[in-house]
């Protein structure tokens, strides 16, 4: 071959300009390309062009650990085959569930997860002729921190923490008018919650209670329906995560699941002819409150926002019922972006779309409850407020228009409505009347509406938020559960002997606020604290082998002012005889503020007022200490 000269280079530039396009098409498929000698006035040169064919990658795998800690950097390596695959190779990493793409084009990445659980990382490898995807699973657990004890700790092994329940009553929060049901054997079922979700039923020996969902902060707005096997199905709110949840008994165990992570207030549940759940509920944000509907289709939850800008008031209930075609009907209050007047609204699915109508517009619509006649036509019982009166109203759709009647007029709030229909479509109703502090039961007979007082003296009802829940047994007889929030008692009422018999299903409470701890000479703990549910200052002491609880001051159930203002800030000290001395704040009506002192004199509790102020501005007593 002749030497490669500058004249040869000039020749090549001219030649390449004419054959470049042809060579471009050929190079990809040829192992070598030669340019032969050309007879012309230039020196003949022999130049070889060599191009390699594309070798496609066929497989990619991920090498990396299968366990790791949250917050720790974890390295993963992508390996391809065949190893002779033609570069460049692009790697696209996708860690889940966080979802950020890391370092495309590199076979080695480092990633840190901030949450625990099972994680999956994915890589996609691409080159000129091939592509493949690989995944890798890793279990992320909490970081194991090293804790260094102070040098003053001499004993080994070091002491461990021990915790136990001192005073742990059931915490019951918001309930719904559909929290009670009667099964085919005549047993009553009630659901409720706040700290956990509970299911209670009454058999021949009394009330039995079980935890349906042991998660923390669940059970608000629990609504109950029984299927054809008398198995309970419950919709309820998870206050800790702000989710709508659903629980059901499958015959052997409780199954729980999250339905919607956006909503869950005022749930109402109904089962269709196939036993599938349908749930109406509200989703509240800072700027809006929406009515939502969730239905299980046999494979997944189908969730719909039925209407936005409905009422955000917590005492305006949501109702759901299914007609003969399993189409949902929902009752709720629409308040025009939060400003009254209010519309009592009925909305329903006709098989293709949602339709709605206004039952009544009033200055204010409060508690309400809906039920469907056997014909599928809706009925409502509700509170309508005018400028001067509180009206108990009953509305019934006759096929052409709403027939509305006023059943009672009151000078104060009506609340806690629960409406059901018997086998003859006759309405039955339970509710609270604040004017006479009573719970009432009413029903429609051939001679009109009849009303009875179930129980009175309900000074402890949180008007506008506590509810009654009514169900009828097989004979059409009423059974009512109700919650007196300030007493923290879940109660049950049934007709008996021409009157009503009431009993407690479960006592509730909200114990442990403002705790103060002291140890006696034997190292035994003594604690003072507030039971907010019972409205009392309590004192707990470890005596011999158990905790002994005592209420050392009880607020007046008959005095609403006590409940409005309340107790706070306890402080405990023990004297030389290990007798307790407790100071705490009492805040009453009309600017009354007191610093109180209660102590055990060896035979009885004695209480004294240390400081009292009734003159505005009232004295503020904060965080007393002994």
Residues 106-137 pLDDT 10s = 787 777 776 677 888 888 988 888 999 999 98
- 240 Cα distance to chain centroid: 6
Asked if 213 and 199 count as a contact pair (C-beta separation under 8 A), the reply is no
Q: Are residues 22 and 36 in the same domain?
A: yes
- Return the percentage of the chain with pLDDT > 70, whole number: 78
Based on its alpha-carbon atoms, the radius of gyration of the chain, rounded to whole angstroms, reads 37
User: Would you say residue 162 lies in a domain?
Assistant: no
Which pLDDT does position 145 carry in this prediction?
41
* pTM confidence score: 0.69
Q: Average pLDDT in the 201-221 region? A: 94
Which pLDDT does position 356 carry in this prediction?
95
- Which residue has better confidence, 71 or 346? 346
Which pLDDT does position 157 carry in this prediction?
61
Q: Are residues 272 and 130 in the same domain?
A: no
Q: Coil, strand or helix: which one is 515?
A: strand
Q: Are residues 135 and 215 in the same domain?
A: no
User: Would you say residue 175 lies in a domain?
Assistant: no
* Domain closes at, from 482, 507, 532: 507
C-alpha to C-alpha distance for 385 and 376, rounded to whole angstroms:
28
- What CA–CA distances, in Å, run from 88 to 27, 84, 469? 17, 11, 70
Q: Are residues 283 and 426 in the same domain?
A: yes
CATH number at residue 189: 2.120.10.70
* Domain closes at, from 456, 475, 507: 507
User: Would you say residue 620 lies in a domain?
Assistant: no
Which pLDDT does position 268 carry in this prediction?
98
Which pLDDT does position 280 carry in this prediction?
98
Indicate the range of 160-174, 358-372, 383-397, 452-466 predicted with least confidence: 452-466
Residue 522 has pLDDT above 60, yes or no: yes
Give residue 609's domain range.
Answer: 511-613
Which pLDDT does position 425 carry in this prediction?
96
C-alpha to C-alpha distance for 282 and 268, rounded to whole angstroms:
10
Q: List, in sequence order, every beta strand (DSSP E) within 116-226.
A: 117-126, 131-141, 180-182, 188-193, 197-203, 206-213, 218-226
Handedness of CA 545, 547, 549, 552 (dihedral sign): positive
Which pLDDT does position 326 carry in this prediction?
98
User: Would you say residue 174 lies in a domain?
Assistant: no
Q: Are residues 381 and 484 in the same domain?
A: yes
Asked if 268 and 318 count as a contact pair (C-beta separation under 8 A), the reply is yes
Q: Are residues 438 and 352 in the same domain?
A: yes
User: Would you say residue 363 lies in a domain?
Assistant: yes
Q: Are residues 485 and 356 in the same domain?
A: yes
Which pLDDT does position 217 carry in this prediction?
93
Q: Coil, strand or helix: which one is 447?
A: coil
- What CA–CA distances, in Å, run from 467 to 427, 433, 434, 561? 18, 11, 12, 22
Q: How many domains does the chain have?
A: 4
Which residue(s) pair with 329 in the sheet?
321, 348
User: Would you say residue 151 lies in a domain?
Assistant: no
Q: Are residues 501 and 516 in the same domain?
A: no
Q: Are residues 605 and 478 in the same domain?
A: no
Residue 561 has pLDDT above 70, yes or no: no
- Return the percentage of the chain with pLDDT > 90, whole number: 51
Q: Average pLDDT in the 498-523 region? A: 89
Closest to 321 in 3D by CA, of 266, 267, 272:
272
Residues 568-579 pLDDT 10s = 889 999 999 999
CATH number at residue 74: 2.60.40.10
User: Would you say residue 402 lies in a domain?
Assistant: yes
User: Would you say residue 127 lies in a domain?
Assistant: yes
Q: Are residues 137 and 119 in the same domain?
A: yes
Which pLDDT does position 534 carry in this prediction?
75
Q: Are residues 478 and 538 in the same domain?
A: no
Q: Are residues 260 and 392 in the same domain?
A: yes
Residue 327 has pLDDT above 90, yes or no: yes
Using the structure block, give the residue that is written with the tokens 């009503």: 500
* Domain closes at, from 507, 528, 559: 507
Closest to 295 in 3D by CA, of 330, 266, 328:
328
Q: Coil, strand or helix: which one is 71?
A: coil
């Amino acid at each position: 071959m002749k030497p490669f000269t500058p004249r040869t280079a000039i020749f090549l530039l001219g030649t390449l300009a004419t054959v470049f396009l042809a060579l471009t098409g050929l190079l990809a498929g040829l192992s070598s390309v030669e340019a032969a000698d050309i007879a012309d006035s230039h020196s003949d040169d022999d130049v070889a062009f060599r191009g390699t064919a594309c070798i496609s990658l066929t497989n990619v795998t991920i090498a990396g650990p299968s366990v790791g800690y949250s917050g720790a950097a974890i390295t993963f390596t992508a390996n391809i085959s065949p190893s002779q695959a033609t570069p460049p190779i692009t790697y696209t990493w996708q860690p889940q569930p966080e979802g950020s793409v890391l370092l495309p084009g590199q076979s080695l990445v480092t990633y840190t997860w901030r949450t625990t659980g099972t994680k999956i990382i994915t890589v996609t490898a691409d080159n000129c002729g091939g592509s493949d995807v690989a995944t890798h699973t890793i279990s992320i657990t909490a970081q194991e921190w090293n804790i260094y004890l102070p040098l003053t700790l001499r004993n080994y092994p070091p002491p461990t923490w021990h915790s136990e329940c001192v005073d742990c009553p059931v915490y019951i929060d918001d309930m719904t008018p559909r929290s009670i049901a009667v099964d085919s054997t005549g047993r009553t079922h009630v659901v409720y919650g706040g700290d956990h979700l509970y299911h209670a039923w009454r058999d021949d020996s009394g009330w039995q209670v079980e935890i349906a969902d042991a998660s923390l902060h669940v059970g608000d707005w629990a609504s109950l329906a029984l299927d054809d096997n008398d198995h309970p199905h419950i919709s309820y709110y998870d206050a800790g995560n702000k989710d709508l949840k659903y629980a059901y008994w499958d015959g052997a165990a409780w199954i729980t699941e999250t339905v919607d992570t956006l909503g869950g207030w005022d749930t109402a549940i109904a089962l269709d002819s196939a036993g599938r759940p349908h749930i109406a509920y509200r989703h509240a944000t800072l700027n809006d409150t929406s009515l939502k509907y969730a239905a299980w289709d046999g494979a997944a939850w189908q969730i719909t926002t039925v209407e936005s800008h409905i009422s955000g008031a917590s005492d305006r209930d949501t109702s759901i019922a299914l007609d003969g075609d399993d189409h949902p009907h929902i009752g709720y209050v629409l308040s025009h972006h939060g400003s009254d007047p209010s519309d009592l609204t009925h909305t329903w699915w006709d098989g293709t779309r949602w339709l709605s109508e206004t039952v009544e517009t009033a200055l204010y619509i409060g508690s309400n409850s809906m039920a469907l006649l056997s014909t599928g036509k809706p009925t409502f019982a509700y509170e309508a407020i005018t400028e001067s009166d509180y009206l108990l109203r009953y509305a019934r759709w006759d096929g052409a228009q709403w027939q509305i009647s006023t059943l009672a007029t009151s000078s104060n709030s009506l609340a806690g409505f629960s409406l059901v229909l018997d086998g003859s479509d006759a309405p039955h109703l339970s509710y609270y009347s604040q004017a006479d502090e009573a719970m009432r039961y009413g029903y429609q007979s051939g001679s009109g509406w009849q009303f009875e007082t179930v129980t009175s003296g309900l000074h402890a009802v949180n008007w506008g938020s506590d509810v009654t829940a009514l169900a009828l047994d097989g004979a059409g007889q009423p059974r009512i559960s109700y919650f007196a929030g300030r007493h923290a008692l879940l109660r049950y009422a049934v007709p008996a002997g021409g009157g009503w018999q009431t009993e407690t299903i479960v006592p509730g409470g909200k114990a442990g606020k403002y705790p103060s701890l002291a140890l006696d000479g034997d190292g035994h703990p003594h604690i003072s604290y507030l039971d907010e549910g019972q409205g009392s200052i309590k004192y707990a002491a470890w005596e011999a082998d158990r905790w002994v609880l005592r209420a050392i001051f009880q607020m007046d159930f008959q005095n609403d002012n006590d409940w409005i203002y309340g107790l706070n800030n306890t402080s405990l000290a023990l004297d030389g005889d290990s007798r307790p001395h407790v100071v705490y704040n009492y805040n009453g009506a009309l600017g009354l503020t007191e610093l109180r002192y209660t102590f055990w004199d060896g035979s009885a509790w004695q209480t004294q007022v240390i400081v009292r102020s009734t003159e505005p501005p009232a004295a503020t007593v904060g965080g007393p200490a002994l």
